[in-house]
Structure 1
Amino acid sequence: MRFVSSLLPSILLMLLAAPAFGAVHLDRLTLPKGFHIAVYSDQVPNAREIALGAKGTVFVGSMDAGKVYALTDTKHDGHADKVRVLASGLEMPVGVAFRDGNLYISAVSRIVVLRDIENHLDDPPKPELVTDKLPSERHHGWRFIAFGPDGKLYVPIGAPCNVCDKGNAFAKLTRMNADGSDAQDVAYGIRNTVGFDWRPGSHQLWFTDNGRDMLGDDIPSDELNRLSRVGEHFGFPYCHEGDILDPEFGKGHRCKDYTPPVLKLGAHVASLGMRFYAGRMFPAGYRGAILVAEHGSWNRTKKSGYRVMTVRLDGNKVASYQPLITGFEQDEKAWGRPVDVQPLPDGSVLVSDDLAGAVYRVTYQP
């Protein structure tokens, strides 16, 4: 290794701790030998989910900024020399998903779309409504969205609380057609997933999930899960991390009746964006691995997370769980918080950071 160049409480703490955007400290980051990290753009306040356009545009949603950004690298030098605001005034537009020339954006109770967006980056169209039938609760109301191999738009409905039982109305993953029709439930017992992807080859859906708060520093763990069938239940609010019954809602339930995680990621690490790595730039051992952005704890005595991790698989089992990037937090002080990871066609990987208001590009050269 070497150096290289609850909603209201959580948001309040983030705001109080946040430095000015652009306070990037690449010299504090540690990556495995041969890996390098550089700033792709430091002009993206509240940078959250990343999506790629067909013509190379990098789209980034935001949270508190209420904006959606388009980053373009016109010089092809690994740095976005143009940053445009495509939409503003949206309600926590965290999620962005690109399909057939159109950019879909989550905005709590709504999904909107910018049509033919890559041909109108300088004069973006007005957002067009796809659906306004999603819950309006802001607690876990920001949504990571993505199109699956089936052509459906997958949209999570997080629990509107730290822990509560709202039946099948919340704490689930749904999908719909691109026009908002035929909405269906896909899976239940998911407290709040802010990252999912489909495994190349099998097209199986894998996702991260944030564990509940207020059970202490070390439980429950965040989860990495795999969906094996529609209608599967992953335990929330009755069972956490596959083996801990909730002290209030677990009465009368058994953890063995719910699907356990494939991997316990650690308590309060705030696992968010995750993607499978299928590129050729990184060493062969990374091919087919999962990259996970861990945003970092806000309610733990000693901070956890604040890193990007690599999960290598052996079939459907975890072979290893190791750091790719660390150093966003040092001596209990954080200057950055990773949110999403997005491989590029050349095999490099973008990482968004909503605390520093930046997007980084990770490359490998021995």
Structure 2
Amino acid sequence: MNNKLVSALLGLTFASSAMATDITDRLSVPAGFTIEPYALNVDNARQLAISENGVVYAGSRKAGNVYALIDKDQDGRADKQVLIAEGLNMPSGIAYKDGALYVAEVERVIRFDDIDNKLDKAKLEVVYDKFPDKRHHGWKFIRFAPSGELIVPVGVPCNVCAEDPEFGRIFSLNLESKELTTLAEGVRNSVGFDYHPDSGKLWFSDNGRDMMGDDIPPCEINRIDEVGQHFGFPYFHGGTIPDPEFGKGKNAADYTQPALNLGAHVAPLGIHFYTGEQFPSDYDNQLFVAEHGSWNRSKKAGYRVMMAKVEDGQVTGYEPFITGFMENEETFGRPVAMVQMADGSLLVSDDYANAIYRVHYNKK
């Protein structure tokens, strides 16, 4: 981080929040890795983004805040937190591009220009304000496409309901023309997606419907092969399980099948393809999945970060990467999203423990 920026940040007020608990001593990672707290007391931390100067930004959902986290001494742990904005409408999704921080609220996307240099006086500009204002599944995850367009999902405002062209889709927003393009439909609620580093295809998580029992339907990981594909909701879940109300008279073969079916109610949120050089080569281009965890199951499921092995566009394995967020039905944390740092380490947000963790590999 440049010295001028560090000096400007020294005078900013630390924005405190409800005290978080450091649960990293409970968390387990594979041999050779270390997980440590990057920042605590980040109220309801959700999606993460990093600027060229190394400032880490975090959105939130229930808290309504956007934060900046600064590691002034470059020791791998933030020592300053700045409240960029507050009182927003579920600003869960954030993305950084060309010096600006983009924030997704329920009904709009806003932008803070030259954000690294204006943390104490960030000015809000509205980018787009025509998304539905329904709060049920209205919070968002956003990411810039390689083409420069902003990818924005709109979840359905229900557990399960009839199709509506405003909902249940992943859109591409052209920031100049303000034109929306439907990349995928039949998507119940995606809160995480990433582009495969080789194929360039967009992969996304999707949360399965509730009230069909403990073990069905599965949550999903999907891959978009063609613009406009339909992924089955509300007619089919997990590719082949017909909805008891909406599936009658429909054919599963008419819809795109999941790339991977997960456990029921594990609630996959953020996903991330690893492209760094710090982790062993076995992790190159592999997909990390944050399973936020169930709220509607007699025995809890999820509450972990998993790694999907992807070979030639197909998932060939699925194994734990971070565990310990839940034990004996007691919840200690809920992973949400990941972002990769310049050194190849991985940051993971936790909106239950109000924390952000840093995972790094101990090179010999």
Q: TM class by shorter-chain length? A: over 0.9
Residue 31 (structure 1) shift:
1.1
1:152·1:176 contact (CA, 8 Å) conserved in 2? yes
Instruction: Give runs of aligned pairs for residues 333-348 of structure 1, distance below 5 A.
Output: 333-348=330-345
Q: State the one-letter code of the partner of 1:201.
A: D
State the match for 1:5 in structure 2.
none
Residue 156 (structure 1) shift:
0.3
Instruction: Give runs of aligned pairs for residues 327-338 of structure 1, distance below 5 A.
Output: 327-338=324-335
Of 109, 112, 117, the residue aligned with 2:115 is 117
Please state whether the residue corresponding to 2:165 is helix, strand or coil. Answer: helix
Cα distance between partner residues in 2 of 1:35 and 1:180: 45
- Aligned pair count reads 346
Residue 21 (structure 1) shift:
4.1
Of 55, 60, 76, the residue aligned with 1:62 is 60
1:135 partnered with 2:132: yes
1:199 partnered with 2:196: yes
State the match for 1:45 in structure 2.
43
Please state whether the residue corresponding to 1:29 is helix, strand or coil. Answer: coil
Of 148, 151, 160, the residue aligned with 1:154 is 151
- Cα displacement string for residues 67-109 of structure 1 (whole angstroms, at most 9, x for unaligned residues): 0001111111000111101111100000001111111101100
2:209·2:217 contact (CA, 8 Å) conserved in 1? yes
Cα distance between partner residues in 1 of 2:177 and 2:80: 32
Cα distance between partner residues in 2 of 1:166 and 1:209: 16
Cα distance between partner residues in 1 of 2:130 and 2:121: 28
TM-score by length of 1: 0.93
Please state whether the residue corresponding to 1:92 is helix, strand or coil. Answer: coil
Instruction: Give runs of aligned pairs for residues 226-265 of structure 1, distance below 5 A.
Output: 226-265=223-262
State the match for 2:6 in structure 1.
none
Instruction: Give runs of aligned pairs for residues 160-179 of structure 1, distance below 5 A.
Output: 160-179=157-176
- Cα displacement string for residues 144-189 of structure 1 (whole angstroms, at most 9, x for unaligned residues): 0110111000110101000001332210001112357111211100
State the match for 2:11 in structure 1.
none
In structure 1, list runs of 5 or more residues that go unmatched: 1-19
Of 191, 210, 213, the residue aligned with 2:210 is 213
1:24·1:335 contact (CA, 8 Å) conserved in 2? no
State the match for 2:71 in structure 1.
73
State the match for 1:93 in structure 2.
91
Cα distance between partner residues in 1 of 2:251 and 2:213: 22
Residue 53 (structure 1) shift:
1.1
Q: State the one-letter code of the partner of 1:161.
A: C
Cα distance between partner residues in 2 of 1:28 and 1:180: 48
1:21·1:355 contact (CA, 8 Å) conserved in 2? no
Please state whether the residue corresponding to 2:146 is helix, strand or coil. Answer: coil
Of 286, 289, 292, the residue aligned with 1:289 is 286
Cα distance between partner residues in 2 of 1:345 and 1:324: 20
Q: State the one-letter code of the partner of 2:69.
A: L
Cα distance between partner residues in 1 of 2:186 and 2:176: 26
Cα distance between partner residues in 2 of 1:179 and 1:157: 20
Please state whether the residue corresponding to 2:28 is helix, strand or coil. Answer: strand
State the match for 2:319 in structure 1.
322
2:163·2:234 contact (CA, 8 Å) conserved in 1? no
Please state whether the residue corresponding to 2:25 is helix, strand or coil. Answer: helix
- Cα displacement string for residues 220-275 of structure 1 (whole angstroms, at most 9, x for unaligned residues): 11101000011100000000001101000001111111111111121100100001
Cα distance between partner residues in 1 of 2:164 and 2:94: 28
In structure 2, list runs of 5 or more residues that go unmatched: 1-17
Cα distance between partner residues in 2 of 1:104 and 1:179: 14
Of 287, 299, 304, the residue aligned with 2:296 is 299
Judging changes above 3 Å, is the alpha-carbon distance between structure 1 residues 180 and 116 closer, same or farther for their aligned structure 2 residues?
farther
Cα distance between partner residues in 2 of 1:238 and 1:21: 43
Residue 43 (structure 1) shift:
2.0
Judging changes above 3 Å, is the alpha-carbon distance between structure 1 residues 180 and 33 closer, same or farther for their aligned structure 2 residues?
farther
Q: State the one-letter code of the partner of 1:218.
A: D
State the match for 2:272 in structure 1.
275
TM-score by length of 2: 0.93
1:208·1:272 contact (CA, 8 Å) conserved in 2? yes
